[in-house]
């Protein structure tokens, strides 16, 4: 009798089963390793997408604003200023969460050649110029409460510049080839005050260093086909790039137009594992089919994460999200990307703080089909410097925060308004789609008949109590009627 199949021996079926189990057991670690590698690649792609978001958002914003033949409402050729002569219209969709408190002035500069910026003396109103590099970092800010009210001249230089700084200029060096000079000048919405501000805006100047002090006639660079929609919200433009297009945009900018910070080295080494290497094209086809499939939804995952992050940025104070950080991020790439996605660009906290809310004081989402109030008690108005101001802006939500067009053409409530105060000296504001009544319309900010968000802006906030910077003052809750 064959010993293999005889009594006391392993049956053929048992033998085969045991062999199969052994093979499966040997294969399981390999399968787990493969699954782990795919998940690692996916997480690396998410981290890389977050890392580059502020860079790509800023560059797209630059192109949409400066890749033009002549100055427009919110655009001007590279190397020149546009000056907004009135508040942005309710239909404006260029920059998410824009304000309607100041007149914008902006110039995008190519620091391939050093550029000189100058502004006149401004003593009777708040003004500020954010200096935004391609990473959306704002290390420097020029204006009333940062550099003073005297006339001033600045020399801006890009990576690797070495030269002599002319006398009378303040030199600021940047790690990126392009720089945004974003100015805000406070203005009353009256013909008389607007005319005064227009004269100031006309004195905001940028010229190449080689032309400084000489006769200079600006010539706009040629308009290029950059392959994106020039009139669509940057967040949508970014999604349309797809993953490969996004990472190729990123590696084209780094380091040619944007030197990474030294502290970015560990992340750059990590993302190189999936072929994202500065200065080199990114090719999805070089990744395995499994990895490509795992990376397909990364753009939407990150977009959703950033939108959700914006709604929860900072501390929850009476339903408002109050953040006193921004402008400078270090290795906090997620916060930087969150600001880029919905609040490009963040200002330095000592210049302004922007509490934002999507919910009422109980935590329920705001919806203009309901009625809401907010009450400042007597003596508890937003604490800002006497030469500055505060406002509350209404936004509808659509892949960003955008003005809500309404029959009053009222985008904000602010220190400019002639409010009707309560008998006890307090001030109640109203937020809803339908009028709260003729006697309350002076204090009414129309809302869409849909979910909405609001931003409260405190320019030049108090640095000592009561102050939003240290938490000794807090915005009141929005209360559902």
Tens of pLDDT, residue by residue, the chain (481 residues):
333 323 344 444 544 445 555 555 555 566 677 789 999 999 999 999 999 999 999 999 999 999 999 999 889 999 999 999 988 789 988 777 888 899 999 999 999 999 999 999 999 999 999 999 999 999 999 999 999 999 999 999 999 999 999 999 999 999 999 999 999 999 988 899 999 999 999 999 999 999 999 999 999 999 999 999 998 989 999 999 999 999 999 999 999 999 999 999 999 999 999 999 999 999 999 999 999 999 999 999 999 999 999 878 899 999 999 999 889 999 999 999 999 998 899 899 999 999 999 999 999 999 999 999 999 999 999 999 998 999 999 999 987 899 999 999 999 999 999 999 999 999 999 999 999 999 999 999 999 999 999 999 999 999 999 999 999 999 999 999 9
Length of the chain equals 481
pLDDT at residue 8, as a whole number:
41
pLDDT at residue 10, as a whole number:
44
pLDDT at residue 9, as a whole number:
43
Give CA angle at 391 (386, 394), nearest 5°: 175
CA distances (Å), origin 119, targets 107, 112, 199: 13, 22, 11
pLDDT at residue 22, as a whole number:
55
Give the separation between CA 147 and CA 433, rounded to whole angstroms: 42
* Residues pairing with 154 in the sheet: 117, 170
Give the separation between CA 129 and CA 120, rounded to whole angstroms: 13
pLDDT at residue 4, as a whole number:
32
Place of tokens 């005050």: 193
Instruction: Report residue 364 CA to chain centroid gap.
Output: 25
Return the closest-CA partner of residue 137 out of 309, 276, 307, 335.
Answer: 335
CA distances (Å), origin 255, targets 53, 132, 271, 279: 15, 17, 15, 6
User: Residue 431: enclosing H or E segment and its boundaries?
Assistant: strand 427-432
Give CA angle at 308 (362, 400), nearest 5°: 105
Paired sense of beta strands 356-357 and 452-459, if any? antiparallel
pLDDT at residue 16, as a whole number:
46
Return the closest-CA partner of residue 279 out of 247, 252, 246.
Answer: 252
216's tokens: 């200079």
pTM: 0.85
pLDDT at residue 400, as a whole number:
81
pLDDT at residue 25, as a whole number:
52
């Amino acid at each position: 009798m064959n010993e293999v199949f005889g009594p006391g021996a392993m049956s053929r079926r048992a033998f085969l089963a045991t062999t199969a189990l052994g093979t499966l057991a040997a294969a399981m670690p390999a399968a787990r390793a493969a699954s782990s590698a795919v998940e690692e690649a996916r997480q690396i792609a998410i981290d890389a997408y977050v890392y580059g978001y502020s860079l790509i958002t800023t560059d797209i914003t630059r192109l949409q604003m400066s890749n033009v033949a002549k100055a427009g409402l919110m655009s001007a050729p590279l190397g020149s200023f546009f000056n907004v002569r009135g508040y942005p219209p309710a239909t404006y969709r260029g920059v998410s969460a824009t304000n309607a408190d100041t007149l914008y002035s902006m110039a995008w500069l190519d620091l391939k050649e050093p550029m000189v910026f100058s502004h006149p003396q401004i003593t009777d109103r708040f003004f500020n110029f954010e200096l935004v590099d391609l990473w959306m970092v704002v290390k420097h800010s020029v204006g009333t409460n940062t550099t003073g009210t005297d006339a001033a001249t600045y020399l801006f230089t890009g990576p690797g510049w070495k030269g002599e700084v002319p006398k009378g200029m303040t030199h600021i060096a940047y790690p990126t080839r392009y720089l945004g000079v974003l100015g805000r000048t406070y203005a009353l919405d009256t013909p008389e005050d607007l005319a005064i501000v227009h004269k100031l805006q006309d004195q905001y100047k940028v010229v190449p260093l080689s032309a400084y002090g000489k006769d200079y006639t600006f010539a706009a660079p040629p308009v290029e086909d950059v392959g994106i929609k020039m009139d669509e919200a940057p967040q949508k433009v970014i999604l349309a790039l797809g993953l490969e297009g996004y990472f190729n945009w990123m590696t084209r900018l780094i380091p040619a137009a944007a030197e990474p910070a030294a502290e970015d080295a560990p992340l750059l080494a990590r993302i190189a594992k999936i072929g994202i290497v500065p200065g080199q094209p990114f090719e999805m086809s070089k990744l395995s089919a499994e990895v490509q499939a795992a990376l397909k939804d990364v753009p939407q995952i990150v977009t959703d994460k950033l939108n959700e992050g914006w709604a929860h940025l900072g501390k929850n104070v009476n339903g408002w999200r109050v953040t006193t950080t921004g402008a400078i991020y270090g290795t906090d790439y997620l916060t930087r990307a969150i600001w880029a996605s919905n609040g490009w660009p963040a200002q330095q906290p000592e210049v302004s703080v922007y509490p934002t809310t999507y919910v009422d004081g109980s935590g329920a989402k705001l919806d203009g089909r309901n009625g809401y109030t907010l009450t400042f008690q007597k003596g508890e108005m937003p604490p800002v410097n006497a030469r500055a101001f505060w406002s509350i802006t209404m936004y509808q939500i659509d892949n960003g925060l955008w003005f809500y067009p309404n029959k009053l053409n009222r985008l904000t409530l602010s220190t400019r308004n002639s409010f009707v105060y309560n008998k006890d000296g307090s001030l109640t504001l109203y937020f809803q789609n339908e009028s709260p009544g003729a006697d309350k319309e002076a204090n009414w900010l129309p809302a869409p008949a849909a979910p909405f968000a609001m931003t409260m802006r405190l320019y030049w906030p108090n640095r000592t109590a009561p102050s939003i910077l240290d938490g000794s003052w807090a915005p009141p809750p929005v209360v559902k009627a």
